Amino acid sequence: MPELHAAIVTPLDATNRLDTNAMQQLMRHLAQHGLDGVVPCGTTGEGPSFSVQERLEIIKSTIAARGHLQIIAGTGCQALSDTVALTRAAIDAGADAALVLPPFFYKQSGDAGVIAWYRAVCDALPAHGKIILYHIPPMTGVAITVPIIEALCRSHPEQILGIKDSGVDAAHTAMLVASFPHLKIYTGNAPILAQAIRDGAAGSILAIANIVPRALRILSDAPHRTDIQTQVAQVDAYVRKVGAASTIKAIITASGVTQVGAPRLPQLAHPDPTLAYQAFKQIGEYTV
């Protein structure tokens, strides 16, 4: 069965700090709707907006509330030392794996610099530590290329678990599946979920799994359901109009699941959460 993971939002209280009670409520809700795991501190979870210590607190809060859910911790930072420290701490705390962004500011070293950087992260992992390479060039401007993957699989085959492909290209995901059958390839793009599953992807890590987990569970298990794929694509397009984290947080709060607050700056709160939820519900039967 394909894996379905939510790129979980980070609930914040009125002081802009982690709301652990809301996190527990959201985790229970997602677990009841067919998810296999969550990814705290990823893109939707606003990972880069938190300090290393705050991110570890968020990750630990998901581990404490995990139930049967897998935890893939978002640990990529610009500084290598921060990435190593957070990744080790997350694995030691009980995360099943870490989702690690490439270094994205200094790009002059190209693939060689990215390979050396990831190898340093892998060298610092505990023996059981696993990482998932995070390919999201629309945000980082850095591609996880085939030569990078091949080099890391040669040097650290036990540490490289898979790749999250958020490059918005179904053909690229299919190429990764065909080229690296020993790795878990996860799509990060809801509009191509059915195609990715048909092409052999291990599963998905999706932002809108916070708000349409039932639809995504059905579609993951029955990727021929074009009716559900159409609705899923519409939901994905809708939440990106204002901003995925802002809109998804507004929908979660307005739905009554739990209060998750607004995102941290520089992301802004949705201007009208009630309207956001009403528009979301009008998309189709799997959004109510």
Amino acid at residue number 184: K
Establish if 79 belongs to a structural domain.
yes
The H-assigned helical ranges of 141-192 are: 146-155, 170-179
Establish if 253 belongs to a structural domain.
no
Whether 165 and 176 have beta carbons less than 8 Å apart is answered as yes
Question: Which residue from 67, 71, 11 is spatially nearest to 38, judged by alpha carbons?
Answer: 71
- Segment-wise mean pLDDT, segments of 10 residues, the chain, 288 residues: 97 97 97 96 98 98 97 97 98 98 95 98 96 96 97 98 95 98 98 98 98 97 97 97 96 96 96 95 88
Establish if 156 belongs to a structural domain.
yes
Predicted TM-score (pTM) of this structure? 0.97
Establish if 260 belongs to a structural domain.
no
Classify the phi-psi angles of 72: left when phi > 0, otherwise alpha if psi is within -120 to 50, otherwise beta: beta
Domain coverage including residue 34: 3-223
* pLDDT tens-place string over residues 118-137: 999 999 999 999 999 999 99
What is the CATH classification number for the domain harbouring 179?
3.20.20.70
CA dihedral 68, 236, 197, 169 (to 10 degrees): -130
Establish if 108 belongs to a structural domain.
yes
The pLDDT of residue 286 is 85
Angstrom distances, CA of residue 148 to CA of 11, 133, 257: 35, 10, 41
Establish if 54 belongs to a structural domain.
yes
Question: Which residue from 26, 34, 33, 24 is spatially nearest to 1, judged by alpha carbons?
Answer: 34
The pLDDT of residue 159 is 98
* pLDDT tens-place string over residues 180-223: 999 999 999 999 999 999 999 999 999 999 999 999 999 999 99
Establish if 234 belongs to a structural domain.
no
Establish if 67 belongs to a structural domain.
yes
Structural domains of the chain, count: 1
